[in-house]
Amino acid sequence: MGKHKPASTPREVAIQANEEAVLAFITGYIRERRVSPTLSEIGAATFMSRGNVVRYLDRLTVQGRIERYPGMARGIVLPEADDASSAGPPAPCPPGQI
């Protein structure tokens, strides 16, 4: 599920490096804060535009490496997570924390 073919061109290498950077940030953020990051937080941490963040989240979702709940703030979940902090849909955020 989380496996994908090795990169063969410089462009594919860069794309996979960016995927890994986005996934590593999301994983660390969820483990530390027990809630998923916003698109803006991912973009700031990985130096990507919001549009590029969405593209990489789409790729990670298709690969089965993350799950997303569209329309829900902080709606990213790690499917392999064993703890309740990232299993199932995220809990609603208190007002002012979105």
Sketch out the chain's domains with CATH numbers.
10-75 (1.10.10.10)
Considering only residues 83 and 6, tell me which one the structure prediction assigns the higher pLDDT. 6
Model confidence, pTM: 0.76
pLDDT digits (tens, 9 = 90+) for 7-16: 789 999 999 9
pLDDT for the residue numbered 86: 44
Please report which confidence band the pLDDT of residue 84 belongs to, taking 50, 70 and 90 as the band edges. very low
pLDDT for the residue numbered 8: 86
C-alpha torsion sign, points 1, 43, 36, 76: negative
**Over 50: is that where the pLDDT of 95 sits?**
yes
> What CA–CA distance (Å, rounded) separates 40 from 49?
8
Phi, psi at 55, each rounded to 5°: -60, -45
